Amino acid sequence: MKRFFSLFLGLFSLVANAQIDNVPQDYFKDPLDIPLVLSGTFGELRSNHFHAGLDIKTQGRQGLEVKASAKGFISRIKIQHYGYGKALYVQHPNGYTTVYGHLKKLAPKIEEYLKERQYNKESYEIELFPGASELQVEQGEVIAYSGNTGGSGGPHLHFEIRDGSQRPMNPEMFGIEIQDTRDPIVDGLFAYPIGEGAHVNNSANRQKLRLIPQNDGSYSTNAVEACGEIGFGISTVDQKSLAPNKNGVYKIEATLNGSPVMNLDFQRFSFAESRYLNFLIDYEYYSNHRKRVQKLFKESNNPLSIYNGVVNEGKLDIEDGLDYNYVVEVTDFKGNSKTIRIPIKGNFSGEITPKDDVKTDYFTNYNETFSIEENGIDIYIPKNALYYDTFLDIEFMGDTVKVHHDDVPLHKNMTIGFDVSDIPTEEKEKMFVARLNKYGRPSYSTTYKKPTRFTTGTRSFGEYTLVSDLNPPSVRPVNFYDGQWISGNSDLKVKISDDLSGIQSFRATVNGKWILMEYEYKNNTLTHDFSDGVVTETENDYKLIVTDNVGNATTYEAKFFRKN
Ligand SMILES: [Zn+2]
C-alpha cells in the first residue's frame, strides 16, 4: 500500500512540474560574433549558487563587440565592484530579458548615459533602471565591449536569458547553439544509508562505489548489499566539443527496476532558490574534497524547483532477500548521455558499522531557533538556517568562539554578538569582528557597532573573535608622480590596499571636483579615464581619500600637469 501511495505522489509531482512550453526559437541571436565556446553552462554547480547563464569565452581578449541578442531597450545598468561587474540588462517586447556581464565598457550612448549619473551620484557603483523610451536597441546592435570586471576569473561574457518573472532559463533552450558531441563524465558515485537502521555494504555511513567501465561506454558497479532506506549521489560534469572546461550537465534521471524515481534538469530556476544548491550537494564531501556530489534523493524541506518527477523523495526502500536494478542516466543538452547500472541485493545485516556522527551538548532542530551565551559572546541561529537537525560543536575560548564546522552549510545568517562594554572607546573604534581561517588568519566580517555590543551576521560556521586594525590603507600612484607633466597619459592609475579590515570606500577629486575612478579589486587598482573630460586645467591638485572598514583613512595628494 505504501509503495502504491508514493507512486501516486510521484505521478502527481510529474504533472505539477510540467515541461516548459512555448520557448521562443530563433528569437535570440548570439551576443558575440565569434563561435560560442563556453567556460560555464546554465545550472552549473558553483559556490553557493547555480550558474544562471552561459559563460562565453572571448579568446583570452577583452573589448569584443557585445551585441543585443534581440531588439528591446536597456532596462537596467548595474555597476559593482564584485558580482557581474559592469552589467547590462535588455528587456525585449516578448517579455524576456537578456543579461550581459563582466563588461569592460558600454557602447558610447549608454556609456554617456551611465557616466552622467555616476558623476551626479559621485559613485562608481550604481544601479539604474532606464525607461522604455530612453535607450532602445536593435537586434545585433553593439551595446558594450566584453571584459573581465567583477567576480570574473578571466575575460569572458556572462550571458543570461530571463523569463518575465526574472527567472534565468537555459539559453540553449532558445536555440543558442553550442557544439557538443561528447558524453558527460561521471567521476564519482556514492550510496547513502538514510533511514534508521539502514545499511550499505554493512555500514551506516556513505559508501563510495567503484565505477566499472563497460564495452558500450556505460558503467556498472559491483552489487551493492543494502537494507532499509537508502539513496545515491553522483559527481558528474559535461564537456562541450570546443573547450576542455568541466561544465554542468543538463539532466539526471534515475530508475528503480525500470520505474522512474528521480528526475532533475536545468531548464529554469529562481535566484531565491539558488543557494539551496548547498542542500542538493553533499556539502560535507564538497568541503573536504572540493568535489560536488549531487544527491539523487531529496529531503522533504528541500524546495528546489529543478526536480520533475520524484517518487518517495528519490529514496529507495530495500527489502531483505529482494534484488533491484537502479539505473542512473546523465544527459547533456545535446542528448549525449552516460548510463550507470547499479545492482542492489536486499540483505539484512546484523553487524553494521555505526554512523560517524559526533554527539554534543548542543542539539538543535533545523526548523527551530538556537541561541546560547557565554563569556560575553552570544550566538543566534534562526530557524531554517540549517538544513538538518544538528549536534552543534560550540566552544567558548576566552575572547574567541568556535561555532561548529565549515563543512556544514548555513542557508541564512546567524548572528554572533560580542560584549564590548569593558573595552575603552578609542580601542573599540579600531576593532571589528573577524572570522579566523584554519591557520588563524583573520578576515573582516561585516560588523555592526553599538556602544556595548558588536555583532556580525554570517553564513559561515567557524571561529570568530574581535581584532584591531590600527593601520590605514596604503596608496601608491602607478603611472604618475607628484609634480609631473602627464599630457601623454590617457588615464590616471593608483593602487590601493588594506592589510586587515579591508577597503570600505574611496573618494578622488581634482581641484576639489569629484572624479570617477573605476575600482578593480582583482588588481587593487583605481583608474580615472581622462576621456571623461572633467580634468580641464593645466595645473591639477589630485586628492584621494581611502578608508578601511574600521575608519582608518589615508589621504594622498599630488600635483600633476596636463595640456588639454
Ligand atoms: Zn557567468
Convert the pLDDT of each residue in 52-61 to its tens digit.
999 999 999 9
Distance 46 CA to ligand 1 centre (A): 10
Contact (Cβ atoms closer than 8 angstroms) between residue 252 and residue 263: yes
Contact (Cβ atoms closer than 8 angstroms) between residue 454 and residue 416: no
Distance 213 CA to ligand 1 centre (A): 33
- Per residue in 484-512, pLDDT (tens digit) is 999 999 999 999 999 999 999 999 999 99
Contact (Cβ atoms closer than 8 angstroms) between residue 339 and residue 236: no
Distance 525 CA to ligand 1 centre (A): 23
Residue 4 confidence (pLDDT) above 90? no
Q: Which pLDDT score, from 0 to 100, does residue 5 have?
A: 42
Q: Which pLDDT score, from 0 to 100, does residue 349 have?
A: 81
Q: Which pLDDT score, from 0 to 100, does residue 19 have?
A: 66
Q: Which pLDDT score, from 0 to 100, does residue 295 have?
A: 98
Distance 55 CA to ligand 1 centre (A): 5
Residue 7 confidence (pLDDT) above 80? no
Distance 101 CA to ligand 1 centre (A): 7
Contact (Cβ atoms closer than 8 angstroms) between residue 250 and residue 266: yes
Q: Which pLDDT score, from 0 to 100, does residue 309 have?
A: 86
| Placement of cell 505504501 in the chain | 2
Q: Within a 10 A sphere around the Cβ of 82, how many other Cβ atoms?
A: 12
Distance 470 CA to ligand 1 centre (A): 37
Cα(334)–Cα(351) distance, integer angstroms = 46
Residue 12 confidence (pLDDT) above 90? no
- pLDDT band at residue 483 using 50, 70 and 90 as cut-offs: very high
Distance 241 CA to ligand 1 centre (A): 19
Compute CA distances 204 → 140, 193, 230, 278, 280, whole Å: 58, 6, 10, 22, 20
- pLDDT band at residue 397 using 50, 70 and 90 as cut-offs: very high
C-alpha cell at 219: 558503467
- Letter for the amino acid at 465? T
Distance 236 CA to ligand 1 centre (A): 19
Distance 487 CA to ligand 1 centre (A): 38
- pLDDT band at residue 358 using 50, 70 and 90 as cut-offs: confident
- pLDDT band at residue 539 using 50, 70 and 90 as cut-offs: very high
Q: Within a 10 A sphere around the Cβ of 357, how many other Cβ atoms?
A: 10
How far from the centroid of its chain's Cα atoms is residue 319's Cα?
40
Cα(84)–Cα(67) distance, integer angstroms = 17
Provide the mean pLDDT of the chain: 95
User: In three state form, how does the secondary structure of 308-344 look?
Assistant: EEECHHHCEEECCCCEEEEEEEEECCCCCEEEEEEEE
Q: To 10 degrees, the CA torsion angle through 6, 9, 11, 14?
A: -130
Distance 102 CA to ligand 1 centre (A): 8
Is the pLDDT higher at 15 or at 533? 533
Distance 170 CA to ligand 1 centre (A): 13
Q: Which pLDDT score, from 0 to 100, does residue 392 have?
A: 97
SS3 state of residue 419: strand
Cβ contacts of 80 within 8 Å, gap of 6 or more: 87, 125, 127, 150
Q: Within a 10 A sphere around the Cβ of 44, how many other Cβ atoms?
A: 24
- pLDDT band at residue 257 using 50, 70 and 90 as cut-offs: very high
Q: Which pLDDT score, from 0 to 100, does residue 350 have?
A: 78
Distance 307 CA to ligand 1 centre (A): 23
The residue among 233, 203, 207, 208 whose CA lies nearest residue 298 is: 233
Distance 161 CA to ligand 1 centre (A): 12
Domains of the chain: 37-173 (2.70.70.10), 185-346 (no CATH), 362-468 (2.60.220.30), 474-561 (2.60.40.1220)
Distance 351 CA to ligand 1 centre (A): 48
Is the pLDDT higher at 358 or at 329? 329
The residue among 186, 173, 185 whose CA lies nearest residue 333 is: 173
Is the pLDDT higher at 15 or at 373? 373
Residue 323 confidence (pLDDT) above 80? yes
The DSSP output letter for 171 is: G
Residue 10 confidence (pLDDT) above 90? no
- pLDDT band at residue 449 using 50, 70 and 90 as cut-offs: very high
Q: Which pLDDT score, from 0 to 100, does residue 3 have?
A: 41
- Per residue in 260-279, pLDDT (tens digit) is 999 999 999 999 999 999 99
Q: How many residues does the chain have?
A: 564
Using only C-alpha atoms, the chain has a radius of gyration, in whole angstroms, of: 27
Segment 363-370 shows an average pLDDT of: 97
Distance 38 CA to ligand 1 centre (A): 10
Cα(71)–Cα(69) distance, integer angstroms = 7
**Model confidence, pTM:** 0.93
Distance 290 CA to ligand 1 centre (A): 20
- pLDDT band at residue 357 using 50, 70 and 90 as cut-offs: confident
- pLDDT band at residue 215 using 50, 70 and 90 as cut-offs: very high
Residues whose Cβ atom is located within 5 A of ion ligand 1: 55, 158
Backbone region of residue 448 per phi and psi (left: phi > 0; alpha: psi in -120 to 50; beta: other values): beta
Residue 132 confidence (pLDDT) above 50? yes
Lowest mean pLDDT among 212-221, 351-360, 449-458: 351-360
SS3 state of residue 362: strand
- Letter for the amino acid at 37? V
Q: Which pLDDT score, from 0 to 100, does residue 356 have?
A: 85
Distance 53 CA to ligand 1 centre (A): 6
Cα dihedral across residues 340, 343, 347, 349: positive or negative: negative
Q: Which pLDDT score, from 0 to 100, does residue 18 have?
A: 46
The DSSP output letter for 355 is: P
Q: Which pLDDT score, from 0 to 100, does residue 407 have?
A: 95
Distance 537 CA to ligand 1 centre (A): 42
Cα(130)–Cα(119) distance, integer angstroms = 17
Distance 157 CA to ligand 1 centre (A): 7
